[in-house]
Amino acid sequence: MRRKPTEHPGARARKPRWTALRAAVLAAVAATALAACSGSGNAKADHGASDDKPASSAAPAAITVKPDPGSDAPAEPGSQVTIRTSSGKLTEVKVSAPDTDAFAGSLSTDGATWTSSARLAPGARYTVLARAEAPNGKQISEHGTITTAEAQDTFVGEYSPDKGTTVGVGMPVSVTFNKPIRDKAAVERGLAVTASPAVEGARRWMKDRNGKDRIDYRPRTYWKPATQVTLRMSLSGVDAGGGVLGTQQRVVHFRIGQAVVSTVDVKRKTMTVTRNGKVLRTLPVSTGKTGYETWNGTMVVLGKVPTIRMNSRTVGIFGPEAYDLGEVRWDVQLTPSGTYAHAAPWNEGKFGRVNGSHGCIGMSTKNAKWFFERVHPGDPVTVVHSKDTVAVNNGYGDWNVAWATWRAASALN
């Protein structure tokens, strides 16, 4: 479900000269005036003075870009792009690079100046196109290439969910970084999440299970079905601290699907599955036995596979409790630490009666297939009446943190 974006928006390339239309300036022609000094007394000097005046003309409209694409020196990473027209109004501006989304920007009130909201990434090559309309209606344009200097160190963020996906109502927006983030406020300012319909949401910094810096965004309550969500990553040229510069410019759209919410009651040994508030089925299950209790709290479906080999060594269980179950069917993953909901035919007779697993939620093959076919990444599964609440970074345990506490962990507070 996750993918790693390309670290550099584009390869370094030799910069072509700026191909702008240059304004021609008409030379002013000045007439010389002859003058003579007058003598003393009433004597009059017979002289003439020219009435000629310098000729003047307005310079044609032109477009200028900063950093200058015509410069031999590479542009400084972290610079913003500014485009101006000497007269008239800009009608189109596009700044883009390979494998990255076009830069957004803002236009001045008079329409004469455009400034990028993002900054230039290191070691990148940007194409710039600008069009304007002069006061006399004439159309002018400029196009060229800006190449930026390399940086000694860069960072990228691995984001989830992916572009164009449909996810469940419990899916947070998550970005995990490949380098330590020392200036978290600067990086957080480069991230924005918007939704339609709008929601109240907030971000929280944490360490992922692998020790990497991670930031998650979630709404105060579950998303509403059919919500359209957009993640904007304007990290190009952002300094994460110590000169480690970002390279990404991304716009990620995804959609919220139906509200499929499941509740596992460890005491009753059941799992109740609802869709959009309506109970679909209540399934008998077997959860973790004493010493291997299933995590309490809300987990979020990470993914699902029809078959997987389950070996206790992969989750650190050895000795008398070790197991190798071979190919297990209808597997819905809930945590990276190894919590699944799956078929457990070896526990037949225990479902609804005995909790006998090593932490997973087991059920009959028929019921596991039914559950597998109805859940998707992002659907929340809440376990009640167990112990040891799942950690916030063990998958998406975001919903187990009180809202006030969650909001307080933003670097912008």
Positions marked catalytic? 342, 360
| Dihedral sign computed on CA atoms, order 146, 147, 153, 158 | positive
**360 and 240 Cβ atoms separated by less than 8 Å:** no
Q: Which amino acid, one-letter code, is at 214?
A: R
**338 and 331 Cβ atoms separated by less than 8 Å:** no
First to last CA, the chain: 31
Burial of 128 (0-12, 13-18, 19+ CB in 10 A): buried
Q: How far is CA 260 from CA 329, 331, 375, 376, 377, in A?
A: 21, 17, 7, 8, 10
Q: What are phi and psi of 398, to 5 degrees?
A: -55, -35
